[in-house]
Amino acid sequence: MGTTAEMDITKTTSYAEDKKSVTEGHMVVCSPAGNREPDSLRNLDEDEIKRLNKNLVRKIDSYILPTIGILYILNYVDRQNLSAAKLGTLLEDLNMTTQQFATAISILFVGYLPFQIPSNLIITRIPRPGMYICLAVTVWGAISAATSAVNTYGQLLAVRAILGMVEAVFFPGAIYYLSAWYTKKELGKRFAGLYIAQQVGNAFGGLFAAAILTLDGKHGIAGWRWLFIIEGSATVGVGIICACFMPEFPHNTRMLSQTERDLAVWRVESEAGAAEGTENESVLRSFAQALSDPKLLLLIFCNLLSQGQGSIANYFPTLVSSLGYSSTITLLLTAPPYILAGFVYYGIMFVSDRRNTAYPLILGCISIAIAMYIIPMATESTGARYFSMMLLPFASVGPQILLYKTINLHLARPVTKRAAASALVNAIGGTSNIWTSYLYYAGPHYFAAFGTLTACALLFAVTITIYRWLVLRENRRLDSNDPTQIAKVIKKGVTPEMVDLNWRYEMY
């Protein structure tokens, strides 16, 4: 490689320099001896590479983000529409108790959680992950629509369990899929975009539900049945359309030219030594590596506690209904907190990407959440309680975005390990959605729910602090240049290629 190319994109800076913020779309990557530029890039000067990379990021965004965002909106709408249906005549029509409804909510996760791990291992081995995800969307839309036909509590449980199995494909698959396309300086805001889509689904899902429930009795069909028919059918149609636009992995996508494909693969390789389609690591070996990594175990526990806090999304219409308004007003009041959360998510990840930080942002969200849990337990004031509800969605769920960014940057290699780690964290952490479903009773104070979530938040703060200590210790070992110390780090998940790249655990 000539000297011009070396000046263009070879990084020989220290770890301190690596932590500086980088303008998005610019290349600041390593190029060790075993990871030289593709032939198609070697004759390009610095300005040409910067321009090509900027255009590439813009092109990736225009294809991937709208598609993934729309699918995630539908994912959350279809998952949460049972909570909205409760505000109709669902309980009366199916002769269900409040406790049985809690079981109907939680049963989805019985199918959802265990199927995430094999699904995410499969997605690393198939050449068309976009088609795989869209196929799952189409199938779960059909299952969601079929919920309208249930006539008994047992039938509802069966449909919800099957729905969870199919929906297991999407979220961990989408997290892994995004990490295959974006660099560490770009990934945070794309994860934020995913969570913003979630909040749009929550906000407008409530508005759509309010409108659809007014169809109650039309053609002899209950409003809650119309809810499942319309939203499920829409998901089927959108899933089919998105399959035509969603690109595959960088190395085999048809939306890019050969030069763009080379750059898309190389810029990911240059940060961690490998990209999708460039490794042949055994799936089972990668799964075992993930389970043996103590950092992953801590992150799993952190996400377990974080998702316990995030369980308020499953019962948010119920919390808002405790304010005493009608069903329609209640659904309308659920929208502003989710809209606010979307803006805050973007702000959190903008700061995380720009400042290369996560730990203080996580602690900030936890602190706000604890204060907001205390308010509804301490007062019956409508204004104070709705104020807490305005902040709870972003404060409770915000740390999850930072955790998924941490997973994909700290457990980068091999790529199948990263996929397994994402699925394990989401699957095991998601078990919180089962047991927390039985906490939301005795409103308006909901002492059991908010007391438990306060304990989760405090324990989360302690655990993430222990994780921070652990990764800072690993960085000190890498900085020591002592082969014995570096060998200890390699034994716990860092590859020799990553060491050659001057790789470090960042953001903490």
Span(s) in the chain for CATH 1.20.1250.20 = 65-500
Instruction: Please provide the distance, in angstroms rounded to a whole number, between the alpha carbons at the two ends of the chain.
Output: 35
Whole-number Cα distances in Å, 375 to 333, 371, 384, 445: 18, 7, 7, 9
Report the pLDDT value the prediction gives residue 412, as an integer from 0 to 100.
59
Q: Are 158 and 100 in contact (CB under 8 A)?
A: no
| 490: number of Cβ within 10 Å | 15
Between 222 and 292, where is the model more confident? Answer: 222
Report the pLDDT value the prediction gives residue 36, as an integer from 0 to 100.
62
Whole-number mean pLDDT of the chain? 82
Q: Which of 207, 117, 105 is nearest to 168 (CA)?
A: 117
Report the pLDDT value the prediction gives residue 16, as an integer from 0 to 100.
42
CA distance 457 to 479: 33
Q: Which of 384, 295, 389, 22 is nearest to 185 (CA)?
A: 22
| 228: number of Cβ within 10 Å | 24
Q: Scanning the structure block, which residue is given the tokens 């700061």?
A: 351
pLDDT score of 485 more than 80: yes
Pick the CATH number of 65-500 from 1.20.1250.20, 3.40.50.1360, 2.40.110.10, 1.10.357.10: 1.20.1250.20
Least confident range from 181-190, 237-246, 272-281: namely 272-281
Whole-number Cα distances in Å, 192 to 44, 60, 223, 236, 461: 33, 16, 33, 25, 21
Task: Please write the tens of the pLDDT for every residue from 277-286.
Answer: 455 566 666 6
Q: Are 223 and 215 in contact (CB under 8 A)?
A: yes
Query: Alpha helices, DSSP H only, in 124-183?
Result: 129-146, 153-167, 170-179
Whole-number Cα distances in Å, 156 to 202, 311, 319: 22, 21, 23
pLDDT score of 1 more than 50: no
Task: Please write the tens of the pLDDT for every residue from 260-270.
Answer: 888 888 887 77
Model pTM score: 0.71
Q: Are 112 and 164 in contact (CB under 8 A)?
A: yes
Q: Name the token pair of 475.
A: 């960085």
Between 42 and 305, where is the model more confident? Answer: 305
Q: Are 260 and 38 in contact (CB under 8 A)?
A: no
Q: In the structure, what pLDDT confidence band is assigned to residue 371 with cuts at 50, 70 and 90?
A: very high
Tell me which H or E stretch contains 310: helix 294-310
Q: Name the token pair of 216.
A: 């109650």
Whole-number Cα distances in Å, 150 to 145, 357, 471, 475: 10, 48, 50, 55
Q: Are 302 and 457 in contact (CB under 8 A)?
A: no
What share of the chain has pLDDT > 70, as a percent?
87
Task: Please write the tens of the pLDDT for every residue from 119-139.
Answer: 887 887 788 888 899 999 999
SS (H, E, C) 409-448: HHCCCCHHHHHHHHHHHHHHHCCHHHHHHHCCCCCCCCHH
Q: In the structure, what pLDDT confidence band is assigned to residue 30 with cuts at 50, 70 and 90?
A: very low
Task: Please write the tens of the pLDDT for every residue from 406-463.
Answer: 887 887 566 666 777 777 887 788 788 778 878 888 878 889 999 999 999 999 999 9
